[in-house]
Amino acid sequence: MAYTHLSEAPLDLRAPGFSRVRKGNWWIRIITLAFFDYLSLSVSWLIAESYIPPNDFPWDTSRSSFGMLITILVEIAVMAIQGLYQPGQKRYDYFNIIKSLAFAHGLLLAIILLNKTVQTVQFESPSHLLLPWFLNASWVCAGRLFVNVTLEYLRDLQLFGKNSVFVICDPEEQAEYFNFIKKDNRCKIVGFDGAKALDRYTRKATLEQLHDLGVTEVFISWNAIKNRMFLCWLFHAAGITIHILPMEVKQIYRDMELSKIGRMPCLTFTCPLITGKDFWIKRMFDFCFSSLFIILTSPIYIAIALAIKLDSSGPVFYKQTRIGLHGQKFKVWKFRTMRPDADKLQKELETLNENQDGVLFKMKDDPRVTRIGKFLRCYSLDELPQIFNVLQGEMSLVGPRPLATRDVANFSERHFIRQEVLPGITGWWQVSGRSDIIDFDQVMRLDLHYIENWSLWLDINILFKTVAVVLKKQGAY
C-alpha cells in the first residue's frame, strides 16, 4: 500500500496515537510558578530601586517598565533552562535557584556594560550590585516555599494537585507498592493490573484503559517490565510519565532520573511536553532525504538496471514480501541479484543454512547469486530501490531490517518487538557486522539496543557508519 502523505503512514511505538501533549496538570504548575516568580522578582526589584540611588543603579529596570519586563523574563528563562519548572523536587531546589539568579544577574550586567548607549556607572559600594540579586533570590525562594506549602495543604484536603496514577505489578507485590505510593500525597491510585497488561496482544487495550481513566503517571514493577523496557516509548507517545519501582541497578535507558515516591526509590522516565515530535522530524527527514537522493543518484539506478539486463535474463527489480510494522506484509524493492527461480531453490538449500538458530537464512557463495549480483551485494547497491519503500512510508532510512515471512514464522514471542518500529534500510545490526553475525539472538540484542536508545542523533550516527561499512565491504555477501 502506498502512502501519499506523511500523516497517512502507519505509526510505530514512538509516535503518539491519541495524545499529542503530555498528560496531567503540568501546565498549571508551570503557569503558577512563573506567575509567583514574576511577582516576587517585580517586588524585589522595586525594593532594590528604593534603596539604591538612581545614579548608582546600573540596571535597566528603573528606566522603563519594558526594561523591567525584559530583565525579569531573562531571569525566568535562566531558571527554566536550569530545570526549575520541572516536576518533582527540582522546582524547590533553593540552592539551584540562588545559583541561577546569580548567573542571570551576571549575564544582565554584562549585556548592560557592553551596550555602548549606556553611560558608564560609578559604583560607590559593591552592595549596590549584590543587593538586587540577594532580594531576587530571597523573594523567589519565599514565593516557591509559599506555593509548596499551599499545594501540600490543598492535597491534604483532597482539593487539588493529585495525579491519577495506575500501578502495574504482580498481585503479590500490590499491597506493598500501594502503601508506599499512598504515602506520597500527590498520587491518587485509580487502577491496577498485572504484568499481562504489557503483553503484545493486550498493551493496546491497556493504553485505552489508561486514557479513559485520565491517568497521567504509571508505576510499573521491575518484574513486570524487566524484559519490556522498549514499552517506555509507548507510554511516552501516550503522554504518560513512567516510574519503575525498586529494581536491580544497571544502565537500561537514556533520559531517566532517580526519584522518591513515598520515600521509596524508583526510576522516572518523564515524557516530553509535546509527544512524538522527534518521530515526526525523523519521518520528514526520511521523506526529504529520499526524494533528494533519488534525484541525485538516478544515473546510478539506470546504470545498474542496464547491467542486470545484460548479465542475465529476468526482471531488473525483485519484489519480496517482508513483514513490516505491526506484522503487516509489504513488498520490499531490491535490484535483482539472483536467478529468477531463487525462491524455489531456497528449499533445497535449507540444509546449508549457516545461521545457528535457523531463524534467518544466510549462506556464503550462494549458487543462486548472479555475477552482477555479487558486485551489487558486495557494496549493498541492491538495497538502493528500498528508498522507494521509504517514500511510501513502509520503511525508514534507519531501523531493524524487515525480514521475510519465512524468518518471522520462526520467531519466538520475544522477537516480535522488532515489528513495533518502522523497519529500516540500515540499522545497528548492519553497522555491527551484518552477515558476519549468525546468531539471531545477537541480532535481537542489537535491535533492542537501537529501540531502547533511539534518538535522531543515533540515526544520523548509524547512517555515517553505514557508509564506512559499505565502503569496507564488511559482512556483505
Cα separation, 115 vs 109, in Å, equals: 10
* Domain annotation covers residue 33: yes
Q: How many domains does the chain divide into?
A: 3
The predicted-structure confidence for 177-226, as pLDDT tens digits, reads as follows: 888 888 777 788 889 998 888 888 888 889 889 888 888 889 998 888 87
The whole domain housing 177 covers 17-23+161-269
Same domain, 150 and 166: no
State the cell numbers at 305.
538496471
* Domain annotation covers residue 397: yes
Q: Where among 99, 125, 156 does a domain terminate?
A: 156
Nearest CA-CA partner of 21 in 233, 275, 277, 210: 275
Q: Which residue has the cell 514499552?
A: 231
Same domain, 46 and 117: yes
Cα separation, 210 vs 174, in Å, equals: 18
Q: What is the share, in percent, of the chain residues with pLDDT greater than 90?
A: 19
Same domain, 136 and 175: no
Chain centroid offset of residue 218 CA: 18
Q: What is the pLDDT of residue 343?
A: 63
The predicted-structure confidence for 291-345, as pLDDT tens digits, reads as follows: 999 999 999 999 999 999 888 888 899 888 899 888 889 999 999 888 776 666 6
Single-letter amino acid code for the residue at 476: A
* Domain annotation covers residue 220: yes
Same domain, 148 and 49: yes
State the cell numbers at 327.
506484522
Nearest CA-CA partner of 82 in 68, 67, 98: 98
Q: How far apart are the first and last CA of the chain?
A: 30
Cα separation, 252 vs 428, in Å, equals: 17
Cα separation, 191 vs 453, in Å, equals: 29
Same domain, 356 and 397: yes
State the cell numbers at 4.
501519499
Q: Where among 92, 124, 156 does a domain terminate?
A: 156
Q: What is the pLDDT of residue 436?
A: 60
* Domain annotation covers residue 8: no
* Domain annotation covers residue 331: yes
Q: What is the pLDDT of residue 473?
A: 66
Cα separation, 473 vs 477, in Å, equals: 9
Same domain, 110 and 203: no
Cα separation, 82 vs 5, in Å, equals: 39
* Domain annotation covers residue 477: no
Q: What is the pLDDT of residue 272?
A: 67
* Domain annotation covers residue 190: yes
Give whole-number Cα distances, 230 to 14, 132, 169, 416, in Å: 10, 48, 17, 12
Same domain, 78 and 112: yes
Same domain, 285 and 383: yes
Q: What is the pLDDT of residue 135?
A: 92
Same domain, 425 and 311: yes
Q: What is the DSSP string of 131-174?
A: HHHHHHHHHHHHHHHHHHHHHHHHHHTTSS-PEEEEEE--HHHH
Same domain, 284 and 379: yes
Cα separation, 252 vs 269, in Å, equals: 11
Nearest CA-CA partner of 140 in 68, 60, 33: 33
Same domain, 369 and 448: yes
Same domain, 137 and 260: no
Cα separation, 8 vs 273, in Å, equals: 24
Q: Which pTM does this prediction carry?
A: 0.61
Q: Where among 119, 140, 156 does a domain terminate?
A: 156
Q: What is the pLDDT of residue 3?
A: 54
* Domain annotation covers residue 187: yes
40: helix, coil or strand?
helix
Residues with pLDDT less than 50, the chain: 4, 118-119, 121, 248-252, 477
| CATH number of 242's domain | 3.40.50.11060
Q: What is the pLDDT of residue 395?
A: 92
Encode 25-63: b = buried (16+ Cβ within 10 Å), e = exposed.
ebeebbeebeebbbebbbebbebbbeebeeeebbbbbee
Cα separation, 267 vs 28, in Å, equals: 24
Q: Is residue 163 a contact partner of residue 24, using CB atoms and an 8 Å limit?
A: yes
Determine the Cα angle at 404 with ends 371 and 207, to 5°. 150
